[in-house]
Copies of this chain bind each other. A is one copy, B any other.
Amino acid sequence: MNKSEVKVIGILERVGGFASAQELYQLLQRNGESIGLTTVYRALQSLVSDKIVDQLRRDDGEAIYRLCGDSHHHHLVCKLCGSTVEIEGSAIERWTKTVAEQHGFREVGHTAEVFGICPNC
């Protein structure tokens, strides 16, 4: 765990949700941190392989990251303004596990995100 990784974790904490590498880089710049885009990517790779950060994909293929750790949860994302609400998903957890085991799958994980238009939009 080096200095850059600490910076990236810090900004992820402030974000409190998903962000892409490019977004994180810009946020760090705005905060006056001196860090290169390459280093942000490398820190994220390292954190993902250490299971400190979760990585998934936006619909457009861009990778997005968030701190893992708190309880496993999902997101309700507004299609228009992008605001997100964390939602609990124990129903999903159970469904995932059941379905996968029925088909003999091991080491099961899942992605589930809900999209809609929030009350403000």
Contacts and interface: CB of A to CB of B under 8 A. Distances in A.
Interface stretch (A9-17, A22-30, A39-47, A97-105): A97-105
B92 A112 contact: yes
Contacts of A57: 57, 59, 61
Contacts of A111: 59, 111-113, 115
**Can you tell how many copies of this chain the complex includes?**
2
B89 A105 contact: no
Given A91-B91, A92-B92, A100 B116 contact: yes
A108 interface: yes
Interface of A: 57, 59, 61-63, 76, 78-79, 85, 87, 89, 91-92, 95-96, 99-100, 103-119
